[in-house]
Structure 1
Amino acid sequence: MPEFRSKDPLHGVTLERILVELVEFYGWEELARRVNVRVFQHDPTVPSGLKFLRKTPWAREKVEQLYRHMLREHPR
């Protein structure tokens, strides 16, 4: 029986991995420009970003959209 693979690029990807990959690809400055939140602009860290994104659904959605865009434009 063939293995089921989700077409959702976020399936099985942790929020931490999303954030780390975005920072590696764009850098904090460009990420802050694309997702305009203070936590990405002033002394950004992955732990502080994760804390904010976990309690702020609209920001998490923007980060997830940017991740999908990054994967479409620059497939691995």
Structure 2
Amino acid sequence: MVNTIELLEIEKWFNSINIPKEVKINAGVRHTDAPKFVQENIELLKGKELTGRIADQRWNMLQELKQAILDPVK
């Protein structure tokens, strides 16, 4: 489960950049509204509306999105 410090750190990182509208995660997955995806998932995680595996999956998806922004898929 994601802890509060990690969540605040990733939120700060996303807030410090201009999130592209569309981000390709890999050959088969892309986010067509990445800013909305980030906002909604951070809010869900901060509100503790998600628990267990679902929260972990959303956290991993935010991490994948961050990595895809830092190192875009060609």
TM range (shorter): 0.3 to 0.5
Higher strand proportion (structure 1 or 2)? 2
Q: Report the TM-score when normalising by structure 1.
A: 0.38
Please report the TM-score for the alignment, with normalisation by the length of structure 2. 0.38
More helix per residue:
1
Higher RCO, 1 vs 2 (CA within 8 Å, ≥6 residues apart): 2
Which structure has the larger Rg? 1
